[in-house]
C-alpha cells in the first residue's frame, strides 16, 4: 500500500536534518520532476521565512523542485530559485483572505501553476524535516487530491459512499496545510468555486466557508488522506486538554518512532506561531481556543522542541 511505502521511506531517512549544512541558495534543475507551491498575501510572513522554508525543502528532497510562490506583491528578496506569480485580482478580494482562506484555491486556477508536473502545496508555517517529494507516491492518478484528514468521516470508499447517499451534504473533510495534486487535472475546483461565488457571494453554500472544505467537497471522489506517518498538524499531535496525556503519549514507543520519522509538521493555529514558540521557556503552557494544552517541554515534545528552535533560528 502507498501509505506503507511512505512509512518505509520515512523510516529509512536519516534522523539528522540537513539544515545545519544547507547552502544560502539553491538552483532549480533544468528538468525538475515535481513542483512545490507556496502562497503568501499581506505581511504576516516575511520573505525570510519563505526563503527558509524553500531552502529546507530543496536541501532535503531527493530532487530540487520547481518553486512557485503565488504572492499579492512583488518580493525582490526571494531566493533566485523561486518563481513568483502574482495573484489574479479576483482571487485576492478581502472576503477571500479572511479566516476561511478561500484565496488559497488559487493554486487550482488555470494559468497559475504549470501543468507539466505534479505539485505539493505547503503552508508557510510548516517545519520540513525530510524529503517532501515522498508524498508524491500518494497520487494514484492526476485526479487524486491528498490532504490531511480532519473530520470523523474518512476519505476513501466510506466518504465517497456517504457523499453519494447524501447528495453532497455530508462528506469527508481535511486540512489544507498540505495539498498533493496535479495541476493539469484540478482546474475544475477553482472554476466551480468561482461559479458558486456568483450565486452565493456571502458563502451561503456551506462547502464554501473554507478552502479546505471546498476542495474536499468538489474533489470528494478523488480525495485521499495524507498518512500521519508523513505529516501532522502540530495541535493534533502535540496538544491535548489533559496535560498528563501529553507526558504519557511522548513516551509510547510507537509514537516516538512515528514522530522521529515525520517529514513535515504544520504549526496551524494562532496560538502556536513560530515567533511565539521561540519565546517560550521550558515548562511554559499555552492553551488554545479549543482548550488544548501545549506544554513546552522536552518531556512532552521530545526532539520536536529542538527541531523547531533549529528550523527558525535565523528567521526572526
Q: What are the residues whose beta carbons fall under 8 Å from the beta carbon of 71, sequence distance 6 or more?
A: 39, 40, 41, 84, 85, 86, 87
Residue 5 binned pLDDT confidence (cut-offs 50, 70, 90): low
What is residue 256's predicted lDDT score, i.e. its pLDDT?
Answer: 96
State pLDDT tens for residues 79-108: 999 999 999 999 999 999 999 999 999 999
The pTM score is 0.90
* pLDDT averaged over every residue in the chain: 91
- Weakest mean pLDDT among 14-28, 201-215, 242-256: 14-28
How high is the pLDDT of residue 150?
Answer: 87
In terms of pLDDT, which residue wins out, 243 or 271?
A: 243
> What pLDDT, on a 0 to 100 scale, did the predictor assign at position 314?
79
* Domain ranges for the chain: 2-225, 231-311
CATH architecture of 2-225: Alpha-Beta Complex (3.90)
How many angstroms separate the CA atoms of 62 and 60, rounded? 7
Give the residue among 221, 298, 220, 223 at the shortest CA–CA distance from 259. 298
Q: pLDDT per residue over 194-239, tens digit each?
A: 999 999 999 999 999 999 999 999 999 999 999 999 999 999 999 9
Residue 273 confidence class, pLDDT cut points 50, 70, 90: confident
pLDDT at 13 over 70: no
> What is the pLDDT averaged over residues 70-76?
93
- pLDDT range class, residue 30, cuts 50, 70, 90: confident
* pLDDT for res 44: 87
Amino acid at each position: 500500500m502507498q501509505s506503507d511505502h511512505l512509512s518505509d521511506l520515512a523510516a529509512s531517512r536519516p534522523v539528522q536534518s540537513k539544515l545545519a549544512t544547507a547552502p544560502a541558495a539553491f538552483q532549480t534543475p533544468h528538468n525538475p520532476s515535481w513542483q512545490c507551491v507556496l502562497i503568501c498575501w499581506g505581511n504576516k510572513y516575511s520573505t525570510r521565512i519563505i526563503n527558509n522554508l524553500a531552502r529546507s525543502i530543496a536541501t532535503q528532497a531527493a530532487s530540487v523542485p520547481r518553486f512557485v510562490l503565488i504572492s499579492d506583491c512583488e518580493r525582490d528578496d526571494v531566493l533566485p530559485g523561486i518563481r513568483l506569480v502574482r495573484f489574479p485580482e479576483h482571487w485576492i478580494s478581502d472576503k477571500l483572505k479572511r479566516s476561511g482562506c478561500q484565496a488559497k484555491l488559487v493554486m487550482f486556477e488555470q494559468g497559475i501553476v504549470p501543468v507539466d508536473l505534479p505539485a505539493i502545496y505547503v503552508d508557510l508555517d510548516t517545519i520540513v524535516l525530510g524529503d517532501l517529494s515522498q508524498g508524491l507516491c500518494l497520487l494514484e492518478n492526476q485526479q487524486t487530491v491528498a490532504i490531511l484528514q480532519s473530520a470523523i468521516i474518512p476519505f476513501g470508499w466510506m466518504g465517497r459512499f456517504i457523499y453519494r447517499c447524501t447528495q453532497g451534504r455530508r462528506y469527508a473533510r481535511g486540512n489544507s496545510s498540505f495539498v498533493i495534486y496535479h495541476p493539469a487535472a484540478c482546474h475544475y475546483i477553482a472554476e466551480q468555486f468561482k461559479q458558486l461565488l456568483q450565486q452565493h457571494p456571502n458563502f451561503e453554500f456551506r462547502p464554501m466557508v473554507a478552502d479546505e472544505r471546498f476542495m474536499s467537497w468538489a474533489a470528494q471522489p478523488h480525495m485521499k488522506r495524507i498518512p500521519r506517518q508523513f505529516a501532522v498538524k502540530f495541535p493534533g499531535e502535540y496538544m491535548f486538554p489533559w496535560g498528563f496525556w501529553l507526558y504519557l503519549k511522548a513516551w509510547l514507543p510507537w509514537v516516538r518512532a512515528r514522530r522521529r520519522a515525520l517529514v513535515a509538521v504544520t504549526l496551524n493555529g494562532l496560538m502556536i506561531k513560530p515567533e511565539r514558540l521561540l519565546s517560550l521557556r521550558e515548562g511554559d503552557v499555552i492553551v488554545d481556543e479549543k482548550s488544548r494544552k501545549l506544554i513546552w517541554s522536552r518531556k512532552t515534545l521530545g526532539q520536536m522542541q529542538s527541531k523547531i528552535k533549529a528550523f527558525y533560528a535565523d528567521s526572526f
